[in-house]
Chain A
Amino acid sequence: MEHQYDAIIIGAGLAGMRAAIEISQDADVALLSKVFATRSHSGAAQGGIGAALANEEDDNWEWHMFDTVKGSDYLGDQDAIETMAKDAPRTVYELEHLGVPFNRTAEGKIAQRAFGGHTSNFGKAPVKRACFAADRTGRVILDTLWEQCLQRGIKFFDEFQVLSLIVDNDRCCGAVAYELATGQLHTFYSKAVLLATGGAGKIFKTTSNAFASTGDGMALAYQAGAPLEDMEFVQFHPTGIYKLGILISEAARGEGGILRNSKGERFMERYAPVIKDLAPRDMVSRCILEEVRAGRGIDGKDYVHLDMTHLGEKVINSKLAEITGFARTYAGVDATKEPIPVQPTCHYMMGGIASDVDGRVIRDGNGTVFTGLFAAGECACVSVHGANRLGCNSLLDTLVFGRRTGMEIRRFVQTVEMPQGSPEYAEKAAARISDLMHGKGTETCGSIMAQMQEIMMEKASVFRTDAGLSEALENIRKLQQRYRNVRLQDKGSCFNRDLLDAIELGHMLDLAEVIAMGALYRRESRGAHFREDFPARNDQQFLVHTLVRYTDDVPQVFEKPVTITRFQPQERKY
């Protein structure tokens, strides 16, 4: 089946839906999502959205900008960060006007709380900057935007998996998608394609991410020739529930929760004397593992305790109810009475599709635009998070750049003609599915995926070395070989999960290779990327973005300068 829209958006999380609301004002837009829109992983965001509203205490956007630059370990592009921090208050007021039910202060303003790495006066003390709705902030924003889309009659194609982008003469002209319920192929022709598919946490064994977080958009762009930027920067959130990786929001520490080792020590005091447990995530994750290495993990194991027992039932029930429920359900722990066992869990991709502040995908180090292709949200790298994202900056990123990208697409679609169709695109996709179903392969996806997740967790997570990364890269390439030999067991056309698994696995293997390559290339330690063989930051050589481009041979690595405007790189201490 064929469709025509001015713009299609792949992914119906916050970035995609915010862009759709913008575009729908005067252009035809459709959202394609492999899960029903309200199942998108934006809904799992817990703690808040950062904006210097100064509702609780003195604050301003320059402090927010500084914190984000410092949090990024000076790798974030400062022009983009300035855009985001300045636009944050407007963004939050806009959400409020759309109906997002934020918690309120005694005066009825939007309530705010402290979050990791967010400070007043350029690092002097923690500041309350995160606007929140209990510990389900992402969920209520997702619901609100989805309902706004319903009100505007925006077209959704739910449970559609995109198989490939259509690129003709270096211009992106649409996408081919597979309808899960029927097995039918759909060709979408459009003047603009926005990738808003979120993260790829499922590449790692322990993750807070949903099963759907398989980096589809990043891989589609990469296969279409767009470079991926800074993919070696993978955020491990310090407080995932032990063994499960389920997220316990930083809000737990924002509200006063404390990390303790086996001796009961508040160990973050030693590592970050000023802001202690509210240090940025990259640091806290490393500190937890340092404690474990020093034999101070709980019971000698690889986890520590997150203690909220002193917060009182009122705070916990009104502001941290969701995570308390997770602790009870999955760890059998009553967080009002006992500490929660936690360890770092793969949480967020700082890297992604190289793009500018208006969501235009960039082809090279000179800013050449990939005509018709846009990216926003976690799958994009603008870059506002640099080497490490601060908590509550991701929701902000999706909304600020979702809107800006939407505005740019609105403008862009007025300037170009609808592309020409051709049956060839769908035929290619059909041939690939047929190959997977009826080829001579002998491999199944399950075991390849498990091995990829193990290798990446072991060799490419919080602590990295040249030897470990080389081994990971070699093994990932072997798995890619095996992947070419996959054969599906489900030949059906209705909810064929086997096919989806295969497509997602192919995407993740591509990205795993890029992550390992970027990490090998970057012989320094910065933000979330820590090389035990190069433990210091090296601004002379590596104050640059890493880009990886797909080629018919091995992928090609190249560099792009970092934009520095207001804040010169300094040693990063908290």
Chain B
Amino acid sequence: MKCTFIIYRFDPAVDKESRYQEYSVEAAPTDKILDCLNKIRWEQDPTLAYRYSCAHGICGSDALVINSRVELACQKLVRDFKTGHNFVIEPLPFFNVLKDLVVDLRPFFEKHRSVRPYLINDQKPPEKERLQDSKTQEFFEPALRCILCASCTSSCPITRTNPDYLGPAALLRAFRYIFDSRDAATDDRLENIDSDDGIWGCKSMWWCTDVCPKGIPVTKCLAQIKRVIKKKEKGE
């Protein structure tokens, strides 16, 4: 069937401002939106720029705004939309556009880095594995599904008004290490994000949870961090 794609275009070398370009694509209901973009690029317009790689929702390259909602282009099929075969494709909000649908994610990864996203433990490890209760692993397991696609952070209403806010993705990574029993820097980690630009920037608006393509209960995970900080303040 024939689908219409209206796509955000911007080439800094040529365009003074962004524009929208319309393409007509022959697509099957089971085609991914990414398949449609590829068809446009291979068959009609090789100048269209967007990121993609694994094409099944694991690498996190292709988060885009599809019909006003942040989605992974490789995880949504044509049949998933009830918009009469019409699609509007735009780059992720909040970040600067480099070209067409490609945004500059450097600020996103800077924030990720600032939560010290690695295990901190100076004790010499045992010869074999450190033991860990499977319940502990299961508790932070949802955060392991994160593919760093930036859907949550770019959708978060707080991020959009306060650019210094760490944002849900970075805080989710903090959650992962705070609740990992093998990590020895829990207090430092909590202190590091105990601020309005940190965990208290989150006003539980649930947009992150709503858009997460991996179904991570982001807001709930962040709430666990708040709970631990509160408990600590009360000396529990």
Contact = CB atoms under 8 A, between A and B. Distances in A.
Interface in A425-477: 444-446, 449
A43 interface: yes
Interface stretch (B43-51, B192-200, B201-209, B226-234): B43-51
Given A44-B58, A108-B133, A147-B117, A497 B49 contact: yes
A92 B128 CA distance: 9
Contacts of A541: none
7 contacts: A35-B51, A36-B105, A43-B58, A93-B127, A104-B137, A134-B141, A318-B138
B179 to A, nearest CB: 10
Contact of B47 (A98, A211, A492): A492
B102 A495 contact: yes
A41 interface: yes
Interface of A: 35-36, 38-41, 43-44, 53, 92-93, 96-99, 101-111, 133-134, 136, 139-140, 143-144, 147-148, 150-151, 181, 210-212, 246-247, 318, 322, 325-326, 329-330, 444-446, 449, 488-490, 492-498, 501
Contacts of B137: 101-104
A497 B133 CA distance: 47
Contacts of A35: 51, 53, 59, 61
A107 B131 contact: yes
Contact of B46 (A107, A330, A490): A490
B46 A444 contact: yes
Looking at chain B's contact residues, the main secondary structure is loop
Given A101-B144, A104-B132, A108-B133, A494 B127 contact: no
Contact of A490 (B47, B98, B134): B47
A36 B100 CA distance: 18
Contact of A494 (B57, B99, B138): B99
Given A38-B148, A97-B125, A139-B147, A326 B56 contact: yes
B133 A39 contact: no
Nearest to A46: B58
Nearest to B125: A97
Contacts of A93: 125, 127-129
Contacts of A181: 98
A150 B12 contact: no
A507 B58 CA distance: 25
Nearest to A131: B129
Contacts of A105: 134
B42 interface: yes
A150 B11 contact: no
A495 B144 contact: no
A330 B79 CA distance: 11
Interface string B164-181: 000000000000110010
A537 to B, nearest CB: 35
Given A39-B53, A489-B47, A494-B99, A148 B118 contact: yes
A143 B173 CA distance: 11
B180 A99 contact: yes
Contacts, number: 162
Contacts of A140: 144
Contacts of A101: 137, 140-141, 144, 176, 180
Interface string B115-147: 011110000010111111110011011001101
Nearest to B148: A38
Given A109-B129, A211-B55, 11 more contacts: A44-B56, A93-B127, A104-B131, A104-B132, A107-B131, A111-B134, A136-B145, A210-B55, A318-B138, A329-B77, A492-B11
B75 interface: yes
Given A147-B117, A492-B47, A97 B60 contact: no
B41 interface: yes
B46 A489 contact: yes
Nearest to A150: B113
B46 A501 contact: yes
B13 interface: yes
Contacts of B30: 330
Contacts of B111: none
Contacts of B132: 104, 108
B52 interface: yes
Nearest to B138: A318
A385 B129 CA distance: 27
Contact of A106 (B61, B128, B134): B134
Size bracket of the B interface:
35 or more
A490 B131 CA distance: 55
Contacts of B160: none
Interface hub of B11, B51, B100, B128 (most chain A Cβ within 10 A): B128
B182 interface: yes
B54 interface: yes
Contacts of A449: 42
Given A109-B131, A150-B117, A151-B118, A493 B43 contact: no
A493 B32 CA distance: 28
For the complex of A and B, 6 pairs with smallest distance between CB atoms: A99-B119, A446-B42, A108-B131, A495-B49, A104-B134, A498-B46
Nearest to B129: A96
Contacts of B43: 446
Contacts of B58: 43-44, 136, 139, 322
A411 B32 CA distance: 48
Interface string B81-124: 00000000000000000111010010000000100111100000
A44 B59 contact: yes
Contact of B60 (A39, A102, A144): A39
Contacts of B119: 98-99, 144
B174 to A, nearest CB: 12
Interface in B57-82: 57-61, 75, 77
Contacts of A326: 56-57
Contacts of A92: 129
A317 to B, nearest CB: 11
A498 B47 contact: yes
Contacts of B45: 489
A161 to B, nearest CB: 13
Given A98-B119, A140-B144, A490-B46, A41 B54 contact: yes
A488 B59 contact: no
A38 B150 CA distance: 13
A44 B58 CA distance: 6
B44 to A, nearest CB: 10
A268 B213 CA distance: 36
Nearest to B135: A104
Contacts of B176: 101
A98 B148 CA distance: 20
Nearest to A105: B134
